[in-house]
C-alpha cells in the first residue's frame, strides 16, 4: 500500500523529515551531489546506480546508527521494524533527482541570461557522434 506517492508511510515520513529540516536537507542534498559526481564503484553498475545504492546505504546507516541507546524494549523493536520498512533507494532517488533538476534549472537560467549555456570542454565533445580522426598522412599536404 502506497502513502502520499511513496512506497509506504515509513519511507514518506523519512523523506519528509529530510526535506523539512534545513540542516538535514542541506547535508543529504550535498551528499547526493557528491555521489552523483563520482564514478561507479562497480563494473556492474552504471554511475547513476552506483550513486543511488551508495547514497541509500549511507542514509540507512546514518539514520539507524543515530538511534539513542536509551531506546530499548518494545520501542526499539517497533522503531527497528519501521526503519526496516523504509525504501532507502526511493529516498536516495528523490535526493538525486532534486540534484539533477537543480542542475537542469541552472543550465536553463544560463541560457536565459546569456543566450547559451556555459559549456566545458567535456560537454563540447559529442561522445555519441565523435568527429572522424584526421589522417596524419594528410598533414603534409
Q: What pLDDT is stored for residue 70 in this prediction? A: 94
Q: 51 and 94 in contact (C-beta within 8 Å)?
A: no
CA distance 94 to 96: 5
The values of phi and psi at residue 29, to 5°, are -70, -35
pLDDT band for 131, please (50, 70, 90 cuts): low
Alpha carbon distance 92, 88 (integer Å) = 6
Residue whose C-alpha is closest to residue 34's, from 55, 65, 20, 17 = 55
Of 120, 122, 63, residue with least CA distance to 87:
63
User: What local confidence, expressed as pLDDT, does residue 115 receive?
Assistant: 52
CA proximity to 31, closest of 81, 85, 80, 88: 88
Q: What is residue 100's predicted lDDT score, i.e. its pLDDT?
A: 83
pLDDT digits (tens, 9 = 90+) for 33-89: 999 988 777 788 888 999 999 999 999 999 999 999 999 999 999 999 999 999 999
Longest Cα separation, the chain: 84
Supply the pLDDT for residue 121: 44
Q: Is the pLDDT of residue 118 over 90?
A: no
Can you give the pLDDT at residue 123? 44
Task: Give residue for cell 555521489.
Answer: 35
* Residue 17 and residue 95 in contact, taking contact as beta carbons nearer than 8 Å: no
Q: What is the per-residue pLDDT for 141?
A: 46
Q: Is the pLDDT of residue 21 over 60?
A: yes
Sign for the pseudo-dihedral over CA of 27, 33, 38, 41: positive
User: CA of 7: how far to CAs of 20, 91, 140, in Å?
Assistant: 19, 10, 65
pTM recorded for the entire structure: 0.71
Amino acid at each position: 500500500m502506497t502513502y502520499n506517492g511513496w512506497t509506504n508511510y515509513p519511507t514518506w515520513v523519512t523523506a519528509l523529515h529530510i526535506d523539512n529540516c534545513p540542516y538535514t536537507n542541506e547535508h543529504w542534498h550535498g551528499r547526493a551531489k557528491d555521489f552523483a559526481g563520482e564514478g561507479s564503484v562497480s563494473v556492474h553498475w552504471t554511475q547513476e546506480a552506483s550513486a543511488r545504492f551508495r547514497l541509500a546505504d549511507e542514509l540507512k546507516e546514518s539514520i539507524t546508527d543515530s538511534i539513542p541507546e536509551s531506546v530499548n524494549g518494545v520501542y526499539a523493536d517497533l522503531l527497528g521494524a519501521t526503519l526496516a520498512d523504509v525504501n532507502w533507494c526511493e529516498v536516495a532517488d528523490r535526493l538525486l533527482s532534486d540534484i539533477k533538476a537543480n542542475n537542469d534549472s541552472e543550465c536553463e537560467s544560463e541560457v536565459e541570461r546569456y543566450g547559451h549555456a556555459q559549456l566545458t570542454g567535456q560537454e563540447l565533445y559529442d561522445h555519441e557522434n565523435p568527429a572522424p580522426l584526421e589522417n596524419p598522412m594528410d598533414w603534409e599536404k
